[in-house]
Amino acid sequence: MSTVKQDKAVQREKIARRAEREIESGFYVNPGIGMPTMVANYIQPGKEVVLQSENGLLGIGPSPYESEVDPDLINAGKETVTASVSGSYCSSAESFAMIRGEHLDLAILGGMEVAANGDLANWMIPGKVIKGMGGAMDIVHGAKKIVIIMDHVSKHGTPKILKECTLPLTGKGVVDRIITDRAVIDVTDAGLLLREVAEGFTVQEVIDSTEAPLEVSGSLKEAGY
C-alpha cells in the first residue's frame, strides 16, 4: 500500500473514531454507506446501540473478517456486514417506516458538499453514472440528528464546505454537525461554528480551506481524533 493510501486510510479511521463519540447509549443509528460504515467498528464497549440499515437489517455488527463474510448479508451500499446477536431482519418498507416515523436518533452520513445553512449534497455528480438516489433523502428528514463525515477538501484541494452547494441537493437545511479530517463544525442559526480543530492543523488553516464563513467557538478545543 502506498504512503498516500496509508495516510488516507488512517485519516478515515480517525474521522470514524471521532464520529463514534456522537453516539450515545440507547441510540438507534443509521450509518450511511462508505466511510460511515466504519463507525460500527469503534463503538465503545458498554454502549447499548442499535445500528439500522435501510435495506432491512436492524442490528448491524462490526465489519466482517474474511472468514466471516456472508455474501447474502449486505448493507444498503452492497457492502458485506455482520449482524449483532440480537439483530433482526425486515422488509425495506418496514425499514423506511422506521426512518419516516422519526424513530432514528442519529444518522451518520457521507457528504460531497455541505452549505453554510446546512444544505447537503451527497447523492450524485452530474454526468456520472449512478444506480439511484438511495435512501438518504428520507434519512436526512427522518433522523433526529444528522452528522456528516467527509474530507474537508476535495482530491483537487477545493473546499467541500461552501457558501452554497453546487451539486444537486439531498436535503435543505438538514445538517447538524460536520466532522472532517481537519475540524468539527456545527451548523447553527447564525452560521457555521468551529468547535474542534484536528491535531496538525491550525484554526487559520481550517478557515482558509473552508469557503463558507466560520465563527470560532469561545470553547474551541483540539478534536482528539
Which residues form the catalytic set? 54
55: helix, strand or coil: coil
Cell numbers found for residue 18:
471521532
Rg (the chain; Cα; Å): 17
Separation between Cα atoms, residue 146 and residue 178, nearest integer Å? 9
Question: Are the beta carbons of 37 and 63 closer than 8 angstroms?
Answer: yes
Q: What is the dihedral of CA 141, 112, 62, 5, to 10 degrees?
A: -170
Burial of 38 (0-12, 13-18, 19+ CB in 10 A): buried
The full length of the chain comes to: 225
181: helix, strand or coil: coil
Separation between Cα atoms, residue 154 and residue 104, nearest integer Å? 30
* Summary count for the chain: helices (H), strands (E): 4, 13
How, if at all, do strands 177-179 and 146-149 pair?
parallel
